[in-house]
Amino acid sequence: MTGTESLDTPDRQPGPPPEAARDTFGVPDIVFGRHDEQFYGALGRVAGLAALLEERLRVLLQTLHQADQAAFARMPVGKVVKEIRGEIKKGPRADRECEIVGTYLVSASAALVERNNVLHSLWPAQDDGTWFRHRLDPKGERAAVRTGPDEMLGLIGELVRLVQEWPNICSIVGSWSRVREHATHEVTSSPGGRRRR
């Protein structure tokens, strides 16, 4: 280049950046890197199944309190589980039923914690195709995990199991609610059907 050449020649004018490659849904590869659709399909199933499980847990609490579907809508799921556990301790309950419901709640809580770990992590794409996630844990420390489809399939399978087991749990909880309703009716009603004053 000589001192007489202009920097304003057309071939030196800035132009639009080259179009970045995008995934099926239009997200540029420079955002997450290139993940295959199996990865996103797994994340989506974890999110959808966990949301369904949360709703089912809320229904258990609504059933115990004989409340409508808007009740406890703003209550965090951790508090929902705590409330259900508290209700288990009230009144006469068959030990085996308490054990079944209690075990279910432990499993559901663990699955939802793992859901949080998965969905609230960053997942930078790896050159070798492995799955890697990292996030700050509640203590402010960076937690990093190299994982893969098998671990995600394990979580998905557990969420499916909990969703499918829910009707049995709900029938137990529903029976507790009916027993309590009957007992309350016995105490507050006279033989003629009038409430005692």
Pick the more confident residue, 16 or 149.
149
Of 77, 37, 87, 90, the closest CA to residue 162 belongs to 77
Pick the more confident residue, 17 or 5.
17
Task: Give the pLDDT of residue 180.
Answer: 56
Domain boundaries, the chain: 35-182
Interior angle at CA 66, CA 65 and CA 71, nearest 5:
75
pLDDT in tens, 127-175: 888 899 999 988 889 999 998 899 999 999 999 999 999 999 999 999 9
Q: How far is residue 11's CA from residue 69's CA, in Å, rounded to a whole number?
A: 65
pLDDT in tens, 95-111: 899 999 999 999 999 99
Q: Which amino acid is at 106?
A: V
Q: Looking at residues 164-193, what average pLDDT do you find? A: 69
